Amino acid sequence: MQIKDKEFEIYLTSQVIQDRIKGLADQINIDYQGKRPLMIAVLNGAFMFAADLMKSLSGEVEISFVKIASYQATQSTGKLDHLLGLQENVKDRDIILIEDIVDTGLTMSELITNILAQKPASLAVATLLWKKEALQKPMKLQYVGFEIPNKFVVGYGLDYDGLGRNLADIYQLKE
Ligand code: IMP
């Protein structure tokens, strides 16, 4: 499978992905029984995972979508990330962050810091994919779909240069 200049091969089929998501949802249903969690899904990549996960959640559950805007601050050394689109009050809520992939973990770590500052009752992370070897920031990931090698993947919400998000399967860069 070709996207622009790169060739990809099938890695996780739609069936395998859907089965695993059902398993994650079952676990979340047990863990959050009697609670009303607020899922916070990170756009763009997590939109498919969030939609399929939501369909298998039972009980009362809410969802909100956020975007992370990154820019280089004019003079400071670091990169600042802003969370856009979160209208819900996070304070005292049971929050589950939904990501497509945790790679270096820098994005997730920023997100966790941001949400914790708003004093939720609890905070958990659900990520479909985890490139464990690439992790630079240690963190606890409560719900992980698949641990994958440190290779570039596309499909099921994940893109290569804007393309490939529509694919139902996940593909790995061919070497
Ligand atoms: P991190 O901050 O390095 O953990 O990267 C997080 C973001 O990088 C993800 O939300 C994705 O948008 C993107 N990303 C990381 N690895 C991949 C990949 O293999 N394919 C597509 N996008 C990726």
Cα gap 44→157, rounded to integer Å = 7
Q: 112-122, pLDDT tens digit by residue?
A: 999 999 999 99
- pLDDT for the residue 132: 93
Tell me which amino acid residue 29 is. Answer: N
Nearest Cα residue to 108 out of 149, 88, 78, 138: 138
Active-site residue, selected from the candidate residues 26, 92, 103, 169:
103
Residue 45 Cβ < 6 Å to ligand 1: yes
Q: Which residues contact 134 (CB under 8 A, 6 or more apart)?
A: 103, 104, 105, 150
Q: 47-88, pLDDT tens digit by residue?
A: 999 999 999 999 999 999 999 866 544 434 445 467 888 888
Q: In the annotation, is 103 catalytic? A: yes
Tokens, residue 43: 């756009």
Q: Which domains does the chain have, with CATH numbers?
A: 35-151 (3.40.50.2020)
Tokens, residue 124: 């958990």
Residue 164 Cβ < 6 Å to ligand 1: no
pLDDT cut 70: percent of the chain above it: 93
Tell me the Ramachandran region of residue 114: left when phi exceeds 0, alpha when psi lies from -120 to 50, beta otherwise: alpha
Find the 149 Cα to ligand 1 centroid distance in Å.
13
Q: Give me the residue label for tokens 């003079």.
A: 75
